[in-house]
């Protein structure tokens, strides 16, 4: 999305830039709104939207505003990357979310970042604004820390060489030394916590998901508001999450 040079198709880039506006969570956009958000001329935007509408990639609602369409949903379901992980995590995640009444995530370490493959929300809990398929920093999320902690020393040193530990909050770990200590503790305890390191008010707890060779493949995390978090909850949270993780592990023994 940054390799904008002259041999790439500019119309196609523009069309996807428009679709990417929807990543912010707002479901309904007008032509002029999208033009303003993307910086494109409104006639260009209108024409691209008309094209996308003809393809059912976007749909118009009764107010002539645009929402994403079913063809995009259909195409999105064809993506085979991490397909087995996504499939096998689906039900366990929903079960954990229902049990624990908070938002549950499942993700992997990819390109030195957490990639969220699945998410299940409780009807009761805090809605967290992560998108399935999106990336987040590893060093300040419980999920990321658990994935790093159980990775090889190569992965960790590559990570520390390439990622700058910028602060999100006053509680964010911002030195390699502190992060290494934290990862060592995570590895010892078998789980990680994010105590408002990514976002003030947000607490996460995460555990690893292993293949049969005890290599970490993925992680499961539970996110909730700090106001609902108590140290006494950790043990019961962990046992619920662990049960779900074991369910996933039963299906991914050969994953590498």
State the residues that interact with a second copy by CB under 8 A: 1, 3, 7-9, 11-13, 15-16, 19-20, 22-23, 27, 47-48, 50-52, 54-57, 59, 67-82, 90-91, 94-95, 115, 131-134
d(CA 221, CA 229): 14
CB of 34 to DNA, least distance (A): 8
Instruction: Report the partner that residue 81 touches, choosing among a second copy, DNA, none (CB closer than 5 to 8 A by kind).
Output: a second copy
CB of 1 to a second copy, least distance (A): 6
Find out whether 94 and 106 touch, Cβ atoms under 8 Å. Answer: no
d(CA 98, CA 85): 20
Task: Report the number of secondary-structure helices (H) and strands (E) in the chain.
Answer: 9, 8
Site string for DNA, 15-34 (x = CB under 7 A): ---------------xxxx-
For the chain, the distance separating the N- and C-terminal CA atoms, rounded to the nearest angstrom, is 29
Instruction: Report the partner that residue 55 touches, choosing among DNA, a second copy, none (CB closer than 5 to 8 A by kind).
Output: a second copy
Beta bridge partners of 210: 216
The torsion angles phi and psi of 119, rounded to 5 degrees, stand at -155, 140
* 11 near DNA, judged by CB under 7 A: yes
Choice between 44 and 136, CB closer to DNA: 44
* 134 near DNA, judged by CB under 7 A: no
* 1 near DNA, judged by CB under 7 A: no
Report which of 127, 146, 246, 129 is spatially closest to residue 192, judged by C-alpha positions.
146
Find out whether 102 and 93 touch, Cβ atoms under 8 Å. Answer: no
Q: What DSSP designation does 247 have?
A: H
Instruction: Report the partner that residue 131 touches, choosing among DNA, a second copy, none (CB closer than 5 to 8 A by kind).
Output: a second copy
CB of 24 to a second copy, least distance (A): 10
The torsion angles phi and psi of 117, rounded to 5 degrees, stand at -95, -25
Catalog residues that contact DNA under the rule CB under 7 A: 6-7, 9-12, 14, 30-33, 40-44, 46-48, 60, 64-65
């Amino acid at each position: 999305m940054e390799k904008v040079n002259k041999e790439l198709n500019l119309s196609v880039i523009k069309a996807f830039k428009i679709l990417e506006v929807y990543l912010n969570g707002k479901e309904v956009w007008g032509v002029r709104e999208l033009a303003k958000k993307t910086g494109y001329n409104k006639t260009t935007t209108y024409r691209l939207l008309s094209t996308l509408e003809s393809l059912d990639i976007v749909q118009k609602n009764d107010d002539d505003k645009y929402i994403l369409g079913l063809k995009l949903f259909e195409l999105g379901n064809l993506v085979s990357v991490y397909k087995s992980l996504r499939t096998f995590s689906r039900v366990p995640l929903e079960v954990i979310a229902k049990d624990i009444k908070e938002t549950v995530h499942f993700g992997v370490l990819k390109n030195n970042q957490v990639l969220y493959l699945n998410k299940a929300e409780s009807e009761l809990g805090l809605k967290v604004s992560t998108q399935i398929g999106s990336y987040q920093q590893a060093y300040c999320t419980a999920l990321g820390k658990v994935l790093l902690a159980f990775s090889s020393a190569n992965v960790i040193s590559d990570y520390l060489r390439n990622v700058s530990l910028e602060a999100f909050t006053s509680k964010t770990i911002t030195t390699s030394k502190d992060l290494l200590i934290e990862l060592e503790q995570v590895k010892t305890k078998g789980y990680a916590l994010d105590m408002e390191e990514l976002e003030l008010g947000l607490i996460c707890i995460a555990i690893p998901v292993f293949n049969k060779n005890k290599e970490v493949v993925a992680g499961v995390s539970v996110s909730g508001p700090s106001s609902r978090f108590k140290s006494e909850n950790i043990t019961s949270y962990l046992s619920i999450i662990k049960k779900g993780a074991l369910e996933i592990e039963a299906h991914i023994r050969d994953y590498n």
